[in-house]
Amino acid sequence: MRSKARTVKAPVNSPKDLPNWNYDGSSTGQAPGEDSEVILYPQAIFKDPFRKGNNILVICDCYTPQGEPIPTNKRHAAAKIFEDPAVAKEQTWFGIEQEFTLLQKEVKWPLGWPVGGYPGPQGPYYCGVGADKAWGRAIVDAHYKACIYAGIRVSGINGEVMPGQWEFQVGPCEAISAGDQLWCARYLLERITELAGVVLSLDPKPIEGDWNGAGCHTNYSTKSMREEGGYEVIKKAIEKLGLRHKEHISAYGEGNERRLTGRHETADIHTFSWGVANRGASIRVGRDTEKEGKGYFEDRRPASNMDPYAVTSMIAYTTILYKP
């Protein structure tokens, strides 16, 4: 992630009130030196928890001077999918569980771990409390408060299975706003870890061996799934996801093959599966959804470094627009 700041003459209430801007794409590897400008299009605004007052944070996506989205701009294509009348009608909701690992700055080793060594085995750390179990809580709590201040729909936090690893949840958010809110929440976390002198890692398997990886489980429902008879809609949607498993895996994050091994609460990357309350499956359906006959499901395949625009729009496309 990158950011820059500019001064405007009056308070801003909408992205439409802001001008486009630009940056030097030749310094980021996104444009040649002889035609270096990449254009920033303002897309979403949030309150700034660092500068406070009337200051805002602006989520932008990136275009060429001719108005074409650059290759790394996944928001443009996602917006087109969410604007499709069939998708808009379904009022897609997403709840995204962002796992991350905090690393010691000088050695790039998890926070709280002895340098070059390992803590005790996994077990006591998940939702753990205490100086020997929860490392980095002050950072995570500061991020939680910053998200609430900014207007992000952060719905919770918890310590994860591997010590030094944490999770926050964003949602439920509708359509493209899920991606906007998760990217802003990631930015806030990177800024707060910067202040704390700690490194944020979104690597899906930061430590090899008998340690859990980091995912970005994506919970999803449509209007039809939330209404009576929704469980049958959910099962048909899951069947479609199985037909496009390889396409989804290819868009679900880099290095995910190191995480999706069939161990540590994951399904094997080459196999599609689903089950009720099964955290070893590709797709998990909750007990409450099965009991009530309607609700949502969880796609457990996305890696912690996934692009939420790509993942959310692909899930919407496959479950609503895709015709086998």
The pLDDT of residue 126: 96
Sign of torsion, CA 63 66 67 71?
negative
User: How high is the pLDDT of residue 137?
Assistant: 97
d(CA 295, CA 118): 41
9 confidence band (pLDDT: 50, 70, 90): very high
Dist. CA 174–CA 183, nearest whole Å: 15
Cβ-based neighbour number of residue 190 at 10 Å: 16
Angle between helices 308-316 and 75-83 (to 10 degrees): 30
Q: Is the pLDDT of residue 266 over 90?
A: yes
Give the tens place of pLDDT for each residue, 64-73: 999 999 999 9
Q: Over 90: is that where the pLDDT of 270 sits?
A: yes
- For residue 149, the model assigns a pLDDT of 98
Q: How far apart are CA 110 and CA 166, in angstroms?
A: 11
pLDDT at position 134 is: 96
Name which residue leads in pLDDT, 297 or 31. 297
- Tell whether the model's pLDDT for residue 59 goes beyond 90: yes
Measured CA to CA, the distance from residue 250 to residue 261 in angstroms comes to 16
Per-residue pLDDT, averaged over 199-204, amounts to 98
With 90 as the cut, is the pLDDT of residue 34 above it? no
Look at residues 261, 264, 284, 260 and name the one whose alpha carbon lies nearest to residue 274: 284
Task: Residue 64: count other Cβ atoms within 10 Å of its Cβ.
Answer: 16
What pLDDT is attached to residue 197? 97
Identify the DSSP state of 197: T
Q: Tell whether the model's pLDDT for residue 221 goes beyond 90.
A: yes
The fraction of the chain above a pLDDT of 90, given in percent, is: 97
Residue 225 has pLDDT above 90, yes or no: yes
pLDDT of residue 29: 92
Instruction: Give all strands of the β-sheet with 37-47 in edge-to-edge order.
Output: 21-24, 37-47, 56-63
pLDDT per residue as tens digits for the range 87-119: 999 999 999 999 999 999 999 999 999 998 999
Report residue 35's pLDDT band, with 50, 70 and 90 as the boundaries. confident
- CA dist 24 and 288 (Å) reads 50
**pLDDT for res 70:** 96
Residues in CB range of 29: below 8 A, 6 or more apart: none
**Chain CA centroid to CA 250, Å:** 16
